[in-house]
A and B are shown apart, each in its own frame.
Chain A
Amino acid sequence: MSLGTGIRLADLIAAICFILALRGLTGPKTARYGNLLGAGGMALAVAITFATNGLTHFLLIVGAMLIGAVIAVPAARLVKMTAMPQMVAAFNGVGGGAAALIALSTFLRAPAGSLAVYQVVEVLLGVVIGCVSFSGSCIAFAKLQEIMTGRAITYPGQQVWNGIVGVAILGLGVTVCVSSFNWLVAIVLVLALAFGVAFVLPVGGADVPVLISLLNSFTGLAVAASGFVLHSVVLVVAGTLVGASGTLLTQMMSRAMGRSLPNILFSAFGSVITATGGAEGDTTRSVRSASAEDVAILLAYANKVIIVPGYGLAVAQAQHTIRELADLLESRGVEVIYAIHPVAGRMPGHMNVLLAEANVPYEQLKEMDEANPEFQSADVALVVGANDVVNPAAKNNPDSPIYGMPILAVDEARNIVFMKRSMRPGFAGIDNELLFDPKTTMLFGDAKDSLTKVVAAVKAL
């Protein structure tokens, strides 16, 4: 067996590993195994690359890999669970950047005019998609990390400008293909970076994670394009797998939010609604606020409590405290379950990760469809730092921007306790009728402080 055949065989095994890894990641029992299998396939693909005929600069390669690993491992290990989404954005962005650099460098080293048209197309696709993914991910990172405002940023004629930039990229690309003006590639590169930024700016708030998923599939496609450039089957296979599955995943995520993808990308959700929400006279309506002791009594003497955790819980790092409260209630014979909205936290599934970190038993976490019938028989629904995902306007107010979004049926519980910092509306920027409901009790304050007080009060009972 020649060396070349060995490498291609190893690439095949790696590709199989990637496919099985993706399948593994779709089930809770197999997910970890799937991820490890993916890592194994990756290790094989990378290791065998060292055996490539004519490869030099081994020390440089190993050195660069060491630098990357020394930065990546602590970053990935130490990042707070709440900051996961922007971490994924960052790792996704650098992948897109790498793909763009690969395509670019192949282009630069080919003597002018020596590339066939289809080869130039491959290079351009790698550069453009890679750059869009890179700069887009940077902005998404900045938004989630709150380096810049998380809200949608809009300006007049935004879509028109984006369209012009897109057309310009296309036009210049065609020019590069049919002419020998190779320097135009530099302009294409800059325009693609600008397009990535402009593409992400009008997406705000809770929509950013869906966007990251989309950029993730872009990077997959950029990697596939660079695979075409280098004639590397394993790059094409893995890149395309991610491109396709990432697109599907993006659709699933937006469906979980009850929105369509174009709606998320182009409607500038977060900004428009702030103008209409809140303010007018709502402060005069009465809300019932209570002390931690009142809430403790309500909870301790209930038969069944459903906890609805939201982003506020994550921000306050209160997942351990809520677990403590749940344990305490269970020891008093109260049935406790957690109702997890598909987009609770900052991304679909994010809340499960946060609660699992606090060792909340997996069986207590109920997904929305499973949890909703439970609310009728619940004595208390304890809503911690969530708002939009329990807003009945999504069910009964066709004018509401979130109308149609699936929500948790908190309003069916006998009592509702909201732990919120203030009466401020949530991500979507709309008022929640439920806060004014007679069976609702408000406990204002930071989620962790409030929970700690309630825990102490339950202990004292």
Chain B
Amino acid sequence: MNGGDILSLITVFVLSAFVGFEVIAKVPSTLHTPLMSGTNAIHGVVLVGAMLVLGTASGTAQMALGFVAVVLATLNVVGGFVVTDRMLEMFKVRKPAKVSAESASAVAPSTEGGPK
């Protein structure tokens, strides 16, 4: 918990802001939505804070507050990563034999793609 004094935290804050701007300087629009979802998952790190709050709580009210915070933060982090992963399935290297999960509108079984 000892991250150092306020000034070193501010240093970390400023440097992180620069890194955040630089690291995504060029993104194809195809990836805007997955990137948004991915960053959404990363701020799920708030779970660490929620754990600290609940883990040091005393008294029912504080514990309830911490408990709710942990539940909410877990929703954020788990949901965030799973949703992002689903979005990114499109970049998976496709195996020819892969059959689509949705069989409702079954596509012709040959999924090799391209004209025969």
Contact = CB atoms under 8 A, between A and B. Distances in A.
Nearest to A356: B90
A67 B79 CA distance: 12
B94 A359 contact: yes
Contacts of A244: 16-21
A21 B41 CA distance: 11
Given A22-B20, A236-B9, A35 B38 contact: yes
Contacts of B74: 64-65, 67-69, 72
B79 A31 contact: no
A38 B24 contact: no
Main secondary structure of the interface of B (DSSP, over half): helix
A285 interface: no
Interface string A28-55: 1101101110110010011001101111
Contacts of A242: 20, 39-40, 42-43
Contact of B41 (A38, A64, A245, A358): A38
A253 interface: yes
Interface residues of A, number: 128
Interface residues of B, number: 93
A238 B91 contact: no
Interface stretch (A177-185, A347-355, A388-396, A439-447): A347-355
Contact of B42 (A23, A212, A241): A241
Contact of A31 (B29, B54, B91, B105): B91
Given A102-B49, A223-B45, A234-B48, A347 B76 contact: no
A172 interface: no
A349 B16 contact: no
Contacts of B115: 330-331, 333
A120 interface: no
A69 B9 contact: no
A14 B42 CA distance: 10
B27 A252 contact: yes
A148 interface: no
A425 B39 CA distance: 34
Given A42-B42, A232-B1, A241-B19, A101 B79 contact: no
Interface stretch (A92-100, A160-168, A297-305, A407-415): A92-100
Nearest to A246: B39
A238 B76 CA distance: 14
Contact of B116 (A26, A108, A324, A331): A331
B86 to A, nearest CB: 7
A60 B63 contact: yes
Contact of B55 (A56, A106, A219): A56
Interface string A196-207: 000000000000
Given A42-B44, A353-B87, A105 B53 contact: yes
Interface in B21-79: 21, 23-57, 61-63, 65-79
A451 to B, nearest CB: 10
A97 B20 contact: no
A460 interface: no
A97 B47 CA distance: 11
Nearest to B36: A213
Contact of A232 (B41, B48, B94): B48
Contacts of A90: 79
Contacts of A331: 115-116
B21 to A, nearest CB: 5
A226 B88 CA distance: 30
Interface string B78-105: 1111111111111110100010101011
Given A323-B107, A324-B108, A73 B31 contact: no
Interface of A: 4, 8, 14, 18-19, 21-23, 25-29, 31-32, 34-36, 38-39, 42, 45-46, 49-50, 52-58, 60-61, 64-65, 67-69, 71-73, 75-77, 79, 81, 84-85, 87-88, 90-92, 94-95, 97-99, 101-102, 104-106, 108-109, 118, 209, 212-213, 216-217, 219-220, 222-224, 226-246, 248-249, 252-253, 256, 320-321, 323-324, 327, 330-331, 333, 340, 342, 347-350, 352-353, 355-359, 361-362, 365, 367
17 contacts: A18-B42, A42-B44, A61-B55, A72-B75, A73-B82, A84-B37, A84-B83, A109-B57, A228-B9, A233-B3, A253-B32, A330-B114, A340-B30, A347-B36, A348-B30, A353-B90, A358-B100
Interface of B: 1-4, 6, 9, 12-13, 16-21, 23-57, 61-63, 65-92, 94, 98, 100, 102, 104-105, 107-108, 111, 113-116
